[in-house]
A and B are shown apart, each in its own frame.
Chain A
Amino acid sequence: MMREDTLISARGLGLRFGAIAALDDVAVDLWPGELLAIVGESGSGKTTLLNVLSGRLAPDEGTVWYRDPAGALHDVHAMPAPALRSLHRSDWGFVHQDPRQNLRMTVSAGGNVGERLMAQGARHYGDIRAAALDWLGQVEIDASRIDDLPRTFSGGMLQRLQIARTLVTHPRLVFMDEPTGGLDVSVQARLLDLIRSLVARLRIAVVLVTHDIAVARLLAHRIAVMQRGRVVETGLTDQVLDDPQHPYTQLLVSSVLNA
């Protein structure tokens, strides 16, 4: 069922919220280093799918398989809570649309970046601080801001800080929920550029949820289009966007200017 090298593989995912089918027989595969965009309009089940894939929400039916670095397969929703928690703290990352959901606003930028390291057992202050400085540099935040509180940061800086905090443990898989939402266009462009270069350099696999076709086109290798809880079309990004087959995808692509 699952190919040798897939990182995450989901089959037959279904989840209903009352009468609404948020997920209906959804299948997803993700390979290491690959960036998969999930696009669709609001309420199409994108974020629900992200939450189910990352083990934050249990599906009514279907299974999510994850292959750990040693090559062993795990059923994400059958994993014991401590194992899932440690996965989320090390090999996985989650980037929220609102960085305030992930960041600790009363803790300095350096402490925010260092938390995952400390949760993993890093107990050397100098090393943690060096790693924090290194990561602030990688997300283009000035080193002099390391001891500043996140509330003194701009929206774009907060989002970059959240990315540094997530990537510091070198995860192999990162879930991103509308990472550029709520930012103005020039800041978005800079952030997209940063995400693209980091992901390519570190060979991180990403599941990216976005309603913005342009973001998907810029970043994603593959794309999955969702409508009313179903994946209606999936394929290589350019292929899907340049030659959409499903009527809904055609509508989606035609409704975007210069996409």
Chain B
Amino acid sequence: MKGYNFAYLDEQTKRMIRRGLLKAVAIPGHQVPFGSREMPLPYGWGTGGIQVTASILGASDTLKVIDQGADDTTNAVSIRRFFAKTAGVATTTVTSQATVIQTRHRIPEKTLRDDQIIVYQVPQPEPLFRLEPSRIETKRMHGLADYGLMHVKLYEDIARFGQISISYDYPVMVNDRYLMSPSPIPSFDNPKMDMMPALQLFGAGREKRIYAIPPWTKVRSLDFDDHPFRAINAPHPCGLCGATDSYLDEVVTDDKGGRLFVCSDTDHCAERRAAGHVGADGLQKAAE
């Protein structure tokens, strides 16, 4: 596009971000500061993810952008269109065809390959920020791997609610060393991060931090021996494709208490329906 550098950011900025990314990959789970730029979208809409994507994108890449698993929501559509315009790269909604996937709040259901990169948009990179207000102190805690405080939070949950009540942004230990926020993905997606073949990059624009998980790295969700981690999901099959192993969104369908549980990963759901899988609500619609 005329008047803009490839993928919007200037080359110096991209180089700076790539240096940050290299450091982040070298120290899995460690938060690397970077000079976050103003982007043509508000903080909280993915300014960190979009800068990371802009820095790693090449002309031959195919980009997929998802927001809460969906390819067709405002955030996903506008970021996808942004890169189609400023970088001229091919875009797709099909997980298996993408080489770079930028995501907000989900990991695709389809297992990622070692030739793919997933970029997470992160609002708050510091997993301890609700527990320890001082950033100097949390940095020291990371430096000394002093993470008892996070377990105090889990202890409090069990003492108060009988179970660990964190359903998203569930803290993980990366490579047995750094405590890391997985960004606000549902805890359902946490097991997918463990030993993932794809490179995982995290960008927090407002907080000016980058971190990463290299391929095939151990990622463990925190828990207690007698209260093991468990992924939370609605106990229903998908209403449209009948899938029982995917993360579900609850959709209110009318004002009489009608509810529909559907896959949050729209590409996964569409693919299953194309292959002939039909859920309970899909059958009903067909009958109507």
Whether A125 lies near B148 (C-beta < 8 A) is no
Whether A123 lies near B152 (C-beta < 8 A) is no
Determine the chain A residues whose CB is within 8 A of the CB of B156 once the complex forms. 107-108, 111
The residue that A114 contacts in the complex, of B144, B155, B223, B226, with Cβ under 8 A, is B155
Given A108-B159, A110-B159, CB of A115 within 8 Å of CB of B149? yes
CB distance from B167 to the nearest CB of A (A): 19
The residue that B146 contacts in the complex, of A107, A110, A119, with Cβ under 8 A, is A119
Whether A115 lies near B152 (C-beta < 8 A) is yes
Interface membership of chain A positions 38-65, coded 1 if the CB is closer than 8 angstroms to chain B and 0 otherwise: 0000000000000000000000000000
Whether A104 is near chain B, meaning CB under 8 Å from some CB there, is yes
Determine the chain B residues whose CB is within 8 A of the CB of A114 once the complex forms. 152, 155
Given A123-B225, A124-B225, CB of A118 within 8 Å of CB of B159? no
The closest CB in chain B to the CB of A120 belongs to: B148
Whether A129 is near chain B, meaning CB under 8 Å from some CB there, is yes
The docked-state distance in angstroms from the alpha carbon of A107 to that of B151 is: 12
Whether B146 lies near A147 (C-beta < 8 A) is no
Interface membership of chain A positions 95-125, coded 1 if the CB is closer than 8 angstroms to chain B and 0 otherwise: 0000000001001101100111011100111
Whether B159 lies near A147 (C-beta < 8 A) is yes
Whether A118 lies near B144 (C-beta < 8 A) is no
Given A104-B152, A115-B148, CB of A125 within 8 Å of CB of B160? no
Given A124-B225, A124-B226, A125-B227, CB of A107 within 8 Å of CB of B144? no
CB distance from B160 to the nearest CB of A (A): 7
Tally chain A residues at the interface, Cβ within 8 Å. Answer: 23
Q: Name the interface size band of chain B.
A: 10 to 19
Determine the chain B residues whose CB is within 8 A of the CB of A143 once the complex forms. none
Determine the chain A residues whose CB is within 8 A of the CB of B226 once the complex forms. 124-126
Whether B158 is near chain A, meaning CB under 8 Å from some CB there, is yes
Given A108-B159, A111-B159, A147-B160, CB of A125 within 8 Å of CB of B152? no
Whether B43 is near chain A, meaning CB under 8 Å from some CB there, is no
The closest CB in chain A to the CB of B156 belongs to: A111
Whether A247 is near chain B, meaning CB under 8 Å from some CB there, is no
Whether A85 lies near B148 (C-beta < 8 A) is no
Whether B151 lies near A118 (C-beta < 8 A) is yes
Whether A81 is near chain B, meaning CB under 8 Å from some CB there, is yes
CB distance from A90 to the nearest CB of B (A): 11
Given A124-B225, A124-B226, A125-B224, CB of A119 within 8 Å of CB of B148? yes
Whether A69 is near chain B, meaning CB under 8 Å from some CB there, is no
Determine the chain A residues whose CB is within 8 A of the CB of B143 once the complex forms. 81-82
The closest CB in chain B to the CB of A125 belongs to: B224
Whether A110 lies near B151 (C-beta < 8 A) is no
Whether A128 is near chain B, meaning CB under 8 Å from some CB there, is yes
Interface membership of chain A positions 117-143, coded 1 if the CB is closer than 8 angstroms to chain B and 0 otherwise: 011100111101100000000000000
Interface membership of chain B positions 160-180, coded 1 if the CB is closer than 8 angstroms to chain A and 0 otherwise: 100000000000000000000
The closest CB in chain B to the CB of A117 belongs to: B148
Interface membership of chain A positions 137-178, coded 1 if the CB is closer than 8 angstroms to chain B and 0 otherwise: 000000000110000000000000000000000000000000
Query: Most A CB atoms within 10 A — which of B155, B225, B226, B227?
Result: B155
Whether B144 lies near A82 (C-beta < 8 A) is yes
Determine the chain B residues whose CB is within 8 A of the CB of A120 once the complex forms. 148
Given A85-B146, A126-B226, CB of A118 within 8 Å of CB of B160? no
Whether A125 lies near B155 (C-beta < 8 A) is yes
The docked-state distance in angstroms from the alpha carbon of A107 to that of B150 is: 12
The closest CB in chain A to the CB of B130 belongs to: A106
Can you report 29 residue pairs joining A to B where beta carbons are below 8 Å apart?
A: A81-B143, A81-B144, A82-B144, A85-B144, A89-B146, A89-B148, A104-B152, A107-B152, A107-B156, A108-B159, A110-B155, A111-B152, A111-B155, A111-B156, A115-B149, A116-B148, A119-B146, A119-B147, A119-B151, A120-B148, A123-B151, A123-B225, A124-B226, A125-B158, A125-B225, A125-B227, A126-B226, A129-B159, A147-B159
The chain B residues found within 8 Å of chain A, CB to CB, are 143-149, 151-152, 155-156, 158-160, 223-227
Closest 10 CB pairs of A and B: A119-B148, A118-B151, A125-B224, A118-B148, A124-B225, A82-B144, A111-B152, A115-B152, A111-B156, A111-B155
